């Protein structure tokens, strides 16, 4: 990883955190209202769906198919999350699946960085200064690498970072009556705070969901299901289920396992915008289930 890449990633961690500190001050001074929270919620959902439905289930695992225009739309939404270019994200995640919790995994809490807190730190944030974006595009995401339009989207990632901050700033400015205070509030809540939340929920799947939680399938890696992350992660925290069946469009395999991303994919399929949705039948799940459910420690 180059020094410029490391500094850019460091800024991506520190600047949103600074925004959260500013937001605490704004809260203390009652400088937040329903408009600010609505901008935060809309930006969170749009960019998180870009990651969970777009980057992950569509582009990384091909759990379903859509027309090219919609595929590129999901890629753009994913880049607005400020988690790296679409090619970097997909290549890193496919490499994670190729080497899960063994040497070569970009962000395992169990390999190369000790155990306990040091391993969790690496999986959550430390990997951003070492291995993020270093997976070979030609090896791990050749399909995207050979797509000129997808490569063009990836090359424009810095502009998406700028747009990710300008869009909520503009929304705050307009919705608060064309005031500079509204612009600042949009920038802080819909921009910095939202990026902070999306980042740390995503990174928690890398760290927490390979360390704490439940397991029920007979697989070799140390992935886990973490129920309390299901809503903010839009279903991504049923991570053990996902590692058992990586191509499944649905990660919440039991009725009570809430999976908002799967609901969105199902909705797209019902209106004809998604097709070839991968579904894992109950008999395949039973065949891979452990004799007893175990809890990872």
71-97 tens-digit pLDDT: 999 999 999 999 999 999 999 999 999
The answer to whether residue 286 is domain-embedded is: no
The answer to whether residue 225 is domain-embedded is: no
Which pLDDT score, from 0 to 100, does residue 53 have?
98
**What is the number of residues in the chain?**
297
The single-letter DSSP state of residue 177 is: T
Structure tokens at 33: 């209202």
The answer to whether residue 265 is domain-embedded is: no
Residue (of 125, 288, 131) closest to 196 by Cα position: 125
Structure tokens at 271: 């209106």
Which pLDDT score, from 0 to 100, does residue 295 have?
46
Which pLDDT score, from 0 to 100, does residue 296 have?
45
Q: Which domain holds residue 99?
A: 3-213
The answer to whether residue 287 is domain-embedded is: no
Residue (of 62, 106, 109, 59) closest to 85 by Cα position: 59
Q: Distances from the Cα of 184 to the Cαs of 105, 172, 188, 192, 196, in angstroms?
A: 39, 7, 6, 11, 17
Which pLDDT score, from 0 to 100, does residue 112 have?
73
CB distance 236 to 56 below 8 Å: yes
The answer to whether residue 39 is domain-embedded is: yes
Residue 80 has a CB neighbour count (10 Å cut-off) of: 22
Given CA atoms 14, 80, 237, 134 in this order, what sign does their dihedral have?
Answer: negative
Domains contained in the chain, number = 1
Which pLDDT score, from 0 to 100, does residue 113 have?
74
Q: What parts of the chain have a pLDDT lower than 50?
A: 292-297
Is the pTM higher than 0.85? The answer reads: yes
The answer to whether residue 219 is domain-embedded is: no
The answer to whether residue 154 is domain-embedded is: yes
Which pLDDT score, from 0 to 100, does residue 15 have?
73
Which pLDDT score, from 0 to 100, does residue 2 have?
67
Residue (of 170, 157, 199, 192) closest to 40 by Cα position: 192
């Amino acid at each position: 990883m180059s020094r410029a890449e490391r500094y850019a990633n460091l800024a991506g961690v520190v600047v949103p955190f600074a925004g959260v500190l500013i937001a605490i001050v704004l809260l203390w001074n009652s400088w937040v209202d329903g408009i600010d929270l609505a901008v935060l919620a809309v930006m969170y959902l749009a960019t998180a769906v870009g990651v969970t439905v777009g980057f992950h289930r569509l582009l990384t695992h091909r759990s379903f198919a859509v027309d090219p225009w919609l595929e590129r739309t999901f890629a753009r939404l994913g880049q607005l999350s400020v988690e790296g270019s679409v090619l970097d994200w997909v290549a890193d995640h496919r490499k994670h699946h190729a080497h899960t919790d063994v040497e070569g995994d970009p962000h395992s809490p169990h390999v190369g960085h000790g155990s306990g807190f040091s391993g969790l730190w690496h999986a959550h944030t430390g990997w951003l200064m070492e291995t993020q974006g270093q997976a070979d595009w030609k090896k791990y995401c050749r399909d995207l690498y050979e797509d000129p339009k997808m490569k063009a989207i990836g090359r424009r990632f810095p502009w998406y970072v700028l747009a990710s901050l300008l869009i909520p700033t503009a929304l705050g400015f307009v919705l608060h009556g064309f005031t500079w205070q509204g612009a600042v509030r949009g920038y802080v809540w819909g921009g910095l705070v939202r990026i902070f939340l999306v980042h740390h929920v995503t990174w928690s799947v890398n760290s927490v969901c390979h360390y704490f939680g439940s397991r029920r399938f007979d697989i070799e890696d140390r992935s886990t299901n973490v129920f309390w992350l299901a809503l903010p992660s839009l279903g991504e925290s049923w991570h053990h289920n996902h590692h058992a069946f990586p191509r499944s469009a649905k990660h919440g395999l039991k009725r009570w396992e809430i999976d908002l991303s799967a609901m969105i994919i199902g909705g797209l399929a019902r209106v004809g915008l998604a097709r070839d949705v991968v579904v894992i039948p109950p008999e395949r799940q039973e065949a891979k289930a452990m004799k007893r459910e175990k809890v990872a420690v």
